[in-house]
A and B are shown apart, each in its own frame.
Chain A
Amino acid sequence: MKFDALVVGGGIAGMESSLKLADMGYSVALVERQASVGGRMILLSKVFPTLDCASCISGPKMSSTVNHPNITTFTTSEVEGIRRQPDGTFAASVRQRAKYVDWSACTGCQDCEVACTVAVPDQFNYDLAARRAAYIAFPQAVPKKAVLERAGTSPCTDACPAGIKAHGYVALIRDGRYEEAFQLILEATPLVATLGRACYAPCEESCTRGDLEGTLPIRRLKRFVADWHYATHDGPGVEPAAPTGQRVAIVGSGPAGLTAAWQLARRGHGVTIFEAAPEPGGFLRYALPEYRLPRAAVDQDIANVTALGVEIVVDHPVDDVVGLRDAGYDAVVVATGTPLAQSLHVPGEEHTGVTSGLAFLGAVRQGESRDLSGRTVVVVGGGNVAMDAARTARRLGAAVTVVYRRSRGEMPANHVEAEDAEQEGVTLAFLLAPAEVVADAAGHVRALRCQEMRLGPPDASGRRRPEPVAGAERVVACDLVISAIGLRPDANAFATLSHDGSGALVADPTTLATALPGVFVAGDAVTGPSDITRAVGQGRRAAHMADRWLRGEPLDGFHALDDRLAVVDHAAVLARQRTHARRDPAVSGIDFSMTPHDFAELEPALTEAEALAGVSRCLDCGVCSECGACSRVCPADAIHLEQHDEMLDLEVDTVVVATGYELFDAYQKPEYGYGTFPNVITATEMDRLLAPTRPFNTVLRPSDGKVPDRVAYVSCVGSRDRTVDNPLCSKICCMYSIKQHQLIMGALPLADVTTHYMDMRAAGKRYEEFFSQGKDMGATYIKGRVAKIEEKDNGDLRVFYEDIENGGRVVAAEYDLVVLSVGVRPNPDALRLFDEEDLAATEFRFVAEPAGDHSPGATSIPGVYVAGASSGAKDIVDSIMHAGAAVAQAAATLEVAHPRRRVPLEVR
């Protein structure tokens, strides 16, 4: 994109520069970091010395800027670099940050703000009050459009292989919107109660709160909303789309199959699930023990699927997908999991008393009563099935030893499962590999002979390879050997589909499409043994792709997992706060027994109070929680979370730097107690309290909402002060303080206003008269620097100062509220704009004007000009005049370069 001029910064100097150049007929690109132009001026109450309304002056200028035909305004944008070209022109890279809102549709109605579940400090009110993650910058914003603040994907959401928006449902619970939380999870999967109990919760492993005192109980929060929903609702509360008339067959009713069926049914397709077992659920029903996942919870989740009209045909194994196509199904999803157990491959495996973990768990789940009291069981393996089998055997009365050929660190089982097993009396024996099942003459198992192992170098899995210790064996006496060394897909099933060497079905990893048109595969049948959430993610993906295929659309667009923002860094999240108060993590509440004897659900549900305590610990890592509340209420369908930042390349002939100033950080003067004493605020904060769009209903002190009777100002905070490395006078502080004195006395007629100052600088048109006016209204001015401020128990403040005009003694005065008149500092961003050459700076790091005496606004780089407070502290009038000087020279540059390039101005 080509423009005559680039103006960096949309404050008063940037707007003025843009308007003047545009009015001359030049095309201008105005780049503003915020979602609105206006800079700091629009946030002011009034301007000095006229006490005109700041909004009334800058509002029309903002509107003129954004709507000027020769100005293209890039809001929420930042210049990442500017390079001067050999011909003297400039190439600028601009990042236009995603707004996540379609501004062409947004009407500025604020419905998204009201619905938003995340509260953050409002930077436009200097953090005095809250705004929402979905927000319009301020009431007079131009353009008046909403944006969503997104720092990235929250770690919990990013970690979920099912694409469940964990941060979203946590935020909805925090807002008391339990049903919406349930519905948000339903967008991913019908298995809400199941995942609330049996998921291994990678979200919790990733939770930033884990870097403090412990993670949120994210999984149990899911169970909380599931239990709440099922106790208060009949059915899922989801209406499927209008029928498409197309039919889809799902083979297998485990987590992948159920999820795929749910997603396709929601989209209006007719879905039939074919299940080989007598009841649906796959491993959820037949492998996971009742104490971890009650059958009732599985049934509740499956009822979600059937409520959408999905037919589940049980006792119906399917091996021929082509036959399904021939039977009239338009698409097929195969999700048959890993139904086969790996063999031990040791002598004696055929003896009575050797079984697989899968068969053992399935038999117990189906009600086969077994009493193992007094028996000894050896479970072979280190995975989750091994842990489930061991703990199940304990409940049946057996003494249980798990033998595993590697060490604890290499166990594939979730560490919680292994720890829980030990708490129930299971013995874990490491570095033992089965060598032979020893049986008696009748063929009954009597022992497992094991080879002792040691760890060698890592193998292909990255885990250290177990190696036999020559001559070292151990015999473990037992009555039952349960083999749980792994699961595998059935390589002999589905002859028309391709299998890899492990027996897994072969498909495109992104689309999950097989070589047979319309046939998709999902879950462990493709990936090999994984876990429930991964299977759910696969089911979602296969359903999405099958739906696209049925609609004749390209197999892409799976935003749930393929198009997420980069994950937010823990350190960046923690750095947003100066302190983090400790909040105790939720306790597990599990009462382990070394002799467990029943299959009752082990983990208690969170109470509502525990759930709310849990969500209160969320740090809102991504800021926006992706809860979708804004999308649901937006009348214009303008919310688009899939937007991404865009990089823009601009070619311009001249650049105007108008990046403004920064305010002194009052934390650097700890003797004044800013940030520690609530009733010590800055003058910019006071300006917000006095503005028509103020954050409170009037001027209130922050500690308790009291209307202050005694207000003190402390001048020259962070300016004319070598202790903070700023000897400069900030020029505007005296006058904005006097302005505020008069406004306070107007707003609070009973208030006393006192200023502690060093000397009053009123150098400007009618400034001295303005000072006198303040005194005439009753403001008190005491000469002498404030040494320190103390806080009383009631929040009042004691100000200690040197009373210069009365003998120089140290005096203490009490106030309700103290206002620090903070100084102006340079904005360091200005000096980082240029890539290959330095924009020269003054000794105080403002943009330098090397020929400032006769050429104000010209910088060290030919063709680059500076406007407003980027080059030093200025009031509004001076900023506007300075912008005029800068753009006059910029225009001269443009005239020399391109005498006839001006754009005719059609609208004035």
Chain B
Amino acid sequence: MRERDRREVIRDEPLMHAPIRRELAGGPLTVPELAARLGRPPEEVLLWVMGMRRYRQVVEVPDSDDEGYFRYELVASDEEVLA
């Protein structure tokens, strides 16, 4: 059951960048894993992760797991690559 209007969830995406980056700093996670750590609904986390993916902040690890979930990992920024 959808809990919040999708526009409202999407509006939160910038606010969630930092918490998501913190969680992914430890390694790739699936959407349900990330949702459990953030304490937020997986549907909302998917929207935020896909927003970050669109702007090249995260990327999927090739191949989904046995349950059909992809894991997502952080993309190093240009500055991080250069460092």
Contacts and interface: CB of A to CB of B under 8 A. Distances in A.
Interface of A: 113-114, 117-121, 127, 129-132, 171, 174-176, 576-581, 612, 615-616, 618-620, 675-678, 695-698, 700, 702-709, 791
A119 B14 contact: yes
B2 A676 contact: yes
State the 8 A-B residue pairs at the shortest beta-carbon distance, nearest first. A705-B31, A704-B42, A130-B51, A707-B68, A577-B5, A119-B13, A175-B14, A130-B10
A171 B13 CA distance: 11
Nearest to A129: B50
A705 to B, nearest CB: 4
Contacts of A132: 55
Contacts of A176: 14, 17-18
Contacts, number: 112
B49 A705 contact: yes
Given A697-B70, A704-B32, A127 B3 contact: no
B58 to A, nearest CB: 10
Contacts of B15: 174-175, 612, 615-616
Contacts of B55: 113-114, 132
Contacts of A577: 5, 7-8
Most buried by B among A171, A174, A615, A708: A174
Contacts of A696: 46, 50, 53
B15 to A, nearest CB: 5
A706 B69 contact: yes
Contacts of B8: 577, 579-581
Contacts of A698: 70
Contacts of B31: 704-705
28 contacts: A114-B56, A119-B51, A127-B6, A129-B47, A129-B54, A130-B10, A130-B50, A130-B51, A132-B55, A174-B14, A175-B15, A176-B18, A576-B7, A615-B15, A616-B15, A695-B50, A697-B60, A700-B46, A704-B31, A704-B43, A704-B69, A705-B31, A705-B32, A705-B42, A705-B45, A705-B49, A707-B64, A791-B1
Contacts of B1: 676-677, 791
Contacts of A174: 14-15
Interface in B23-64: 30-32, 35, 42-43, 45-51, 53-56, 60, 64
A337 B44 CA distance: 52
A113 B51 CA distance: 11
B46 A704 contact: yes
Contacts of B70: 697-698, 700, 705, 707
Contacts of B11: 118-120, 618-620
Given A616-B15, A704-B35, A581 B3 contact: yes
A696 B12 CA distance: 18
A820 to B, nearest CB: 15
Nearest to B51: A130
A508 B8 CA distance: 45
A771 B38 CA distance: 45
Nearest to B4: A581
Given A119-B10, A695-B54, A700-B46, A579 B69 contact: no
Interface string B59-78: 01000100111100000000
Given A119-B10, A706-B69, 20 more contacts: A119-B11, A127-B7, A130-B13, A130-B48, A130-B50, A130-B54, A171-B14, A576-B7, A577-B7, A580-B5, A620-B11, A678-B2, A698-B70, A702-B43, A704-B31, A704-B32, A705-B45, A707-B68, A707-B69, A709-B68
A706 B49 CA distance: 13
A576 B42 CA distance: 23
A700 B48 CA distance: 14
Contact of B2 (A121, A127, A129, A677): A677
Contacts of B17: 175-176
B67 to A, nearest CB: 7
Contacts of A704: 31-32, 35, 42-43, 46, 69
Contacts of A615: 15
Contacts of B60: 697
A114 B55 CA distance: 6
A151 to B, nearest CB: 13
Contact of B12 (A113, A171, A578, A616): A616
A675 B2 contact: yes
B74 to A, nearest CB: 15
B7 A706 contact: no
A129 B54 CA distance: 9
Contacts of A580: 5, 8
